[in-house]
């Protein structure tokens, strides 16, 4: 390890090789506090060439490498176990926005919020947004195929990518920047690397497409009697609200936790079981469209906002869930996708099964109902006890759902991959891994 550390220090400069425990610490624990690990060192290359040299050196020493962006991932994928952490935080350059083409090139370590601000100044938007925007990076978002709040309008990260530059485990640089919006010349590497969770290559740059900014936005928080009403309303809104921009769900339990943690008074005078957050955005004011939807019989109460302060106040109920839950304890966070029609039966059964196994556990559900995506958060379990996780995954599988909608497999779900992917598919994935990384040094504990 000593020779390797010296080589890495020569490549990036001694101040960008972190070996002291207090400097490594924030790279060794994830943002939920559930996963802890140990890094031999943290290395912070500033260019693609340095990234390539770092990987070539680690490859020569057969030393495992864990790429890390903002460390906001929720499945333990960026937490090292006796590995070198390759942090992308110095790969943080953003090209000038090409307003004519509505495109931009971002290095892997550019944080989502920085990209969003640059787009806003150019009258454009980036299609993916999520509550972790202050820490999540473009490289991490490519590698997890991040979803977030606007998948129903713009698609997930995969749909935003024109080209990717990446470095293989042995240091080989590949990929085309700039890419082309249309390019059918064989296997599509950007798509393959999207969602690969850093197991095939380290992403260094991405060429991204942007969308015109929509100047009129309005947001409504709707109170509903039950999840059945939420499913009916979701189907209706998708068909009848062409300006639909976000459609989120949460429940009374989460609402109370947020109210308590942030000392906010509840938004409605009465108690309700289920809440939908609906956002519309368009080139003309979509308020009339949204108001028509609010007359539906499923809506028991509603709060509407058009100005940014009021809209942000409504969004907080949804976006503050993660922080409020974290303030109570370390949650098990399961991110699942289901056919929309299964939501009512699944939510009832998941609560019942969790209580049967762990009577003191607290279950908080929220998610992106517009994409059939629920986040199952369970408090009161020990971090390593996977009994409930497995029961939930099996339940999801019985409904034809996915054990990961958007967070990835990481370390947490690795033993359960076969609940959703066939053995033939997993075998093909292993063969691909072998081609890209024959010595298995890239994220060896993740995905496969
Ligand atoms: C409050 C909160 C809200 C969130 N909301 C959402 C949401 O709505 N939708 C959603 O999809 N996710 C969400 N997430 C999860 C997380 O933000 C995303 O998974 C994000 O894409 C991770 O980006 P990151 O830069 O933090 O990656 P990291 O956490 O650093 O890494 C994630 C994975 O990608 C790999 N990786 C990182 N960078 C690279 C690279 N350059 N090349 C190759 N591999 C790499 C890592 O090894 C790891 O396996 C949320 C997280 C939090 C804390």
Question: Digits of tens for pLDDT over the chain (448 positions)?
Answer: 889 999 999 999 999 999 999 999 999 999 888 899 999 999 999 999 999 999 999 999 999 999 999 999 999 999 999 999 999 999 999 999 999 999 999 999 999 999 999 999 999 999 999 999 999 999 999 999 999 999 999 999 999 999 999 999 999 999 999 999 999 999 999 999 999 999 999 999 999 999 999 999 999 999 999 999 999 999 999 999 999 999 999 999 999 999 999 999 999 999 999 999 999 999 999 999 999 989 999 999 999 999 999 999 999 999 999 999 999 999 999 999 999 999 999 999 999 999 999 999 999 999 999 999 999 999 999 988 999 999 999 999 999 999 999 999 999 999 999 999 999 999 999 999 999 999 999 999 999 9
CA of 407 to the centre of ligand 1 (A): 7
User: How high is the pLDDT of residue 291?
Assistant: 94
Amino acid 383: pLDDT? 87
Ligand 1 contact via 335 beta carbon (within 6 Å): no
Tell me the helix, strand and coil percentages in the chain, rounded to 5.
40, 25, 40
pLDDT at 2: 85
For residues 57 and 120, what is the distance between their CA atoms, to the nearest angstrom? 40
Q: Give pLDDT, residue 228.
A: 97
The Cα–Cα gap between 53 and 38 comes to 23
Is 141 a pocket residue for ligand 1 (Cβ < 6 Å)?
Answer: yes
pLDDT at 33: 86
Helices (H), 225-307: 227-240, 252-261, 287-294
Question: How would you label 222-231 residue by residue, b for 16+ Cβ within 10 Å and e otherwise?
Answer: bbbeebebbb
CA–centroid distance, residue 412 to ligand 1 (Å): 14
> What per-residue confidence (pLDDT) applies to 105?
98
Per-residue pLDDT, 93: 98
Kindly state if the Cβ of 198 falls inside 6 Å of ligand 1.
Answer: yes
Measured between alpha carbons, how far is 224 from 68 in angstroms, rounded to an integer?
40
End-to-end Cα spacing for the chain: 26
Are 117 and 107 in contact by the 8 Å Cβ rule? The answer is no
Is the CB–ligand 1 distance for residue 202 below 6 Å? yes
Q: What is the pLDDT of residue 1?
A: 80
Residue 32 confidence (pLDDT):
84
Q: Which of 43, 65, 67, 140 to mutate to test the pocket of ligand 1 (most atoms within 8 A of CB)?
A: 140
């Amino acid at each position: 390890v000593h020779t390797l550390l010296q080589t890495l220090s020569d490549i990036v400069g001694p101040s960008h090789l972190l070996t002291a425990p207090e400097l490594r610490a924030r790279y060794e624990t994830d943002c939920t506090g559930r996963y802890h690990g140990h890094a031999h060192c943290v290395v912070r290359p500033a260019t693609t060439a340095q990234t390539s040299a770092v990987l070539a050196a680690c490859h020569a020493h057969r030393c495992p490498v864990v790429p890390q962006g903002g460390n906001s991932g929720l499945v333990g994928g960026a937490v090292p176990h006796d590995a070198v952490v390759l942090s992308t935080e110095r790969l943080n350059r953003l090209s000038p926005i090409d307003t004519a083409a509505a495109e931009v090139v971002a290095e892997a370590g550019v944080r989502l919020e920085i990209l969003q601000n640059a787009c806003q100044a150019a009258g454009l938007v980036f299609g993916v947004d999520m509550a972790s925007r202050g820490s999540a990076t473009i490289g991490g978002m490519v590698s997890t195929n991040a979803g977030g709040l606007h998948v129903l309008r713009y698609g997930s990260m995969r749909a935003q990518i024109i080209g990717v530059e990446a470095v293989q485990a042995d240091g080989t640089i590949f990929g085309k920047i700039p890419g082309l919006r249309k390019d059918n010349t064989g296997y599509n590497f950007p798509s393959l690397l999207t969602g690969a969770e850093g197991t095939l290559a380290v992403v260094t740059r991405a060429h991204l497409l942007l969308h015109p900014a929509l100047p009129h936005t309005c947001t409504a928080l709707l109170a509903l009697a039950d999840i059945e009403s939420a499913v009916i309303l979701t189907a209706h809104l998708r068909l009848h609200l062409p300006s639909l921009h976000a459609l989120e769900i949460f429940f009374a339990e989460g609402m109370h936790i947020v109210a308590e943690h942030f000392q906010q008074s509840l938004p409605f005078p009465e108690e309700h079981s289920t809440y939908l957050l609906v956002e519309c955005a368009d080139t003309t004011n979509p308020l009339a469209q949204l108001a028509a939807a609010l007359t539906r019989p499923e809506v028991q109460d509603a709060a509407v906002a058009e100005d940014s302060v009021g809209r942000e106040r409504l969004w907080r109920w949804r976006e503050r869930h993660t922080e409020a839950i974290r303030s109570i304890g370390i949650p098990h966070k399961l991110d699942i996708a289901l056919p929309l029609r299964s939501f009512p039966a699944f939510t009832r059964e998941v609560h019942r099964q969790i209580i049967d196994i762990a009577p003191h556990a607290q279950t908080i559900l929220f998610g992106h109902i517009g994409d059939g995506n629920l986040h199952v958060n369970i408090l009161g379990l020990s971090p390593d006890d996977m009994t409930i996780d497995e029961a939930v995954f099996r339940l999801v599988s019985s409904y034809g759902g996915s054990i990961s909608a958007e967070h990835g497999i990481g370390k947490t779900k690795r033993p359960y991959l076969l609940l959703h992917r066939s053995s033939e598919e997993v075998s093909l994935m292993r063969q691909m891994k072998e081609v890209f990384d024959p010595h298995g040094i890239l994220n060896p504990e993740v995905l496969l």
